[in-house]
Amino acid sequence: MKLRLMLWLLGLLLKRALRRKPRFRQILTEMRGLDWGIATEDLSIARHYRMSPHGIRSGSALPVDLDLELRFEDEAAALKVLRKPTQQAFLEGMMAGKVRLVGDSGDLTRLQKLLKHL
């Protein structure tokens, strides 16, 4: 339940940043958008975000056409990493097998660059 709420709130924070933070808008414009999602490995909890300079949409489940997916072993592993989403936390999670990246690691770097401006 905590992870579902956290992911839903993340969508609100992203939309708010797009409206209020010019640097966030500028970086998103340069990127020309990013479609990404977060889920547990068993897909019991999943949320995706479609971000473009024109708006941000989020929804439940993971469509197949996403640029980047972050898959976590379970809800506890996701909460641990997402509370402090640093590059080091993601790297440690990947080394321990608790985080799996589906997609290009360059997209993860772009996402982290954006999330700094939340």
- Write the pLDDT tens digit of every residue in 41-100: 999 999 999 999 999 999 999 999 999 999 999 999 999 888 887 888 888 989 999 999
Question: Would you state the pLDDT for residue 57?
Answer: 96
Specify the number of domains making up the chain. 1
Q: What is the DSSP letter of 43?
A: S
Q: How far apart are alpha carbons 32 and 57 in whole angstroms?
A: 15
Q: Which residue range is the domain that position 84 belongs to?
A: 2-115
Which of 109, 113, 3 lies closest to 47, judged by CA? 3
Taking only the tens place, the pLDDT of each residue in 89-110 is 888 989 999 999 999 888 888 8
Question: Would you state the pLDDT for residue 59?
Answer: 95
Predicted TM-score of the model (pTM): 0.89
